[in-house]
Amino acid sequence: MSTATRISDAVENWFQTSTCQKKYSRDDWTVLSGIVLQYPLRDSENDEFRVLACATGSKCVGRDRSDSDGFVVNDCHAEVLARRSFMRYLYHEAIFWRTVSNGKIASELAKNSIFTPNDTNGKFVLKNQHRLHVYISESPCGQASIYPLKSEIVNKHIANRIHRNGNGKDTEQTSTKLRKTGAKLCKTSVYELDSNAKVPRFRTKSGRSDIPPHRQTLSLSCSDKIAKWMILGIQGTLLTQWFDHVYLSSIVIGQDLSCESQQFQENAIKRSLWEQNLDIMIEPVRCTVVPSVGYRFGAHKRTAGVKIASIAVNWTECEDHWQNALNEMKPLVEKGFLCNIQREEILLAGYGIREGGRYPKTTDVDESRLQRRAIASRLSKASFYAVWQCLMQADKLCSYKDAKKHIWNAKEHFSESQLKYVRIYHSRNGRDLYLEQDSDEL
């Protein structure tokens, strides 16, 4: 069995054995994603594959529902939530190592961690022969989803469009075999770069063309976000206080049976995720499409007659060696963040808040803030920042933007190639990585 198949099987098995799958009917379309650890088994030549974080979801929040305080999860696409669930894993590791360094728990427990201190700078890195992979049941939205469809699929789309128009004519002048995602190119800023540089073209997430501007999303496409992770790591900015940049070793994608060939789908992913960033990347990442025929998650694939699921689910592995450290932190960390049991969290994906909550309608600013805090996800920017402040013993008056900007300005956290990417990022979509409010990059 190939490595890619074992990675996809691990995530599929998690979905089937978790309570998550009971939240979806067979008529629901959603996307599944997970971060998988590959590590060597003791006294064996074989490797083990273990799921550390998983998520489902296929919606994002419009600009009218996003908020500057970070209580709303703006992007509830599965791969983004899986990455944020893994960031939650990293925060628990940071809590654990801080407790070890304070001498409050036995240092012998450190051997159970998948991380070890780096001899050079003291930051934590993955242990030798440990690798991280991501599985996504569909191609990420954006450029990675632009590939040719089979002729019979294209003809069916044309026939459906003619039927909808009701005039017996195809209203478009031309037809194309390319799968159209609806993702919009970001507006390019006035900043210019070296004309010889390979510059990626950023896109926002797809959406219907008839959505009013105030309800359109500001979130970048998943293709662009994953490409950014390839350069800057999946740990986010604030966690670079304790971790070296954490990189994925491979990206495994479920096969789209409507694509003209498996190779075309794989080429689209490679083109969007690493070929355009080859001169910046630390190391090229392996991209693989795995056949999805017979996969149990296939019931939730995008097919005719299914509806987009309104919920998104996230889950983080709970490690035994964390427990004593978490008991030390309970009085300090916000309720619901700590991983003392393996429990899924359900989000209303179109609102970016916990299931059961209601987006506040009050005009009172302070009351609205309290209500939004009460329904905030454990993966929200506000939740992560509260834990970071606790670990850093930072001034509570220090804002998230100030903290992030301070880290970006401290050049020891980033290489020249990474800073080059940041300049490209700003030039191509007019956003500063440490200032953008619509982002869930923390």
Tens digit of pLDDT at every position of the chain (442 positions):
789 999 999 999 999 888 888 888 878 889 999 999 999 988 778 899 999 999 999 999 887 777 878 899 999 999 999 999 999 999 999 999 998 888 878 788 899 999 999 988 889 999 999 999 999 999 999 888 888 888 888 787 777 767 666 655 555 545 555 555 555 555 544 334 343 444 456 777 766 556 666 667 778 889 989 988 988 899 999 999 999 999 999 999 999 888 888 899 999 988 887 766 656 666 667 888 887 655 556 656 676 667 889 999 999 999 999 988 888 777 666 667 787 666 899 999 999 999 987 777 666 666 677 777 888 999 999 999 989 988 888 666 678 888 888 887 776 778 877 877 777 777 665 555 544 544 555 6
At 135, give phi and psi (nearest 5°).
-115, 135
E strand spans, 105-234: 115-117, 124-126, 131-136
Q: What is the rounded radius of gyration, in angstroms, for the C-alpha atoms of the chain? A: 22
| C-beta separation of 230 from 286 below 8 A | no
How far is the C-alpha of 52 from the C-alpha of 153, rounded, in Å?
Answer: 37
pLDDT given at position 437: 47
The span from the CA of 312 to the CA of 56, in Å, is: 5
pLDDT number for residue 190: 35
Task: Characterize the bridge pairing of strands 131-136 and 250-254.
Answer: parallel
Structural element, H or E, at residue 251: strand 250-254
Count other C-beta atoms under 10 Å from residue 412's C-beta. Answer: 8
Instruction: Give backbone dihedrals phi and psi of 289, rounded to 5 degrees, phi first.
Output: -100, 130
Residue 90: predicted pLDDT? 97
**Neighbour count for residue 173 (Cβ, 10 Å):** 5
CA distance 220 to 186: 8
The pair of three-digit structure tokens given for residue 313, joined into one six-digit string:
């689910």
How far apart are the C-alpha atoms of 354 and 356, rounded to whole Å?
Answer: 6
In angstroms, the CA 32 to CA 297 distance is 8
Element (H, E) at 60: strand 58-60
- Position 189 scores a pLDDT of 41
CA distance 386 to 399: 11
End-to-end distance of the chain based on CA atoms, in angstroms? Answer: 36
pLDDT at residue 398 in the model: 76
Query: Which residues, 6+ apart, have CB-to-CB distance to 255 below 8 Å?
Result: 262, 265, 289, 290, 291, 292, 293
The angle, 0 to 180 degrees and rounded to 10, between the axes of the packed helices 400-409 and 381-392 is: 70
Whose CA is closest to 15, among 113, 137, 98?
137
- Please state the pTM of the whole predicted model: 0.87
Question: What one-letter code names the amino acid at 9?
Answer: D
Contact 352, 61 (CB under 8 A): yes
Q: Residue 217 is which amino acid?
A: T
Query: What is the number of other CB atoms lying within 10 angstroms of the CB of residue 160?
Result: 11
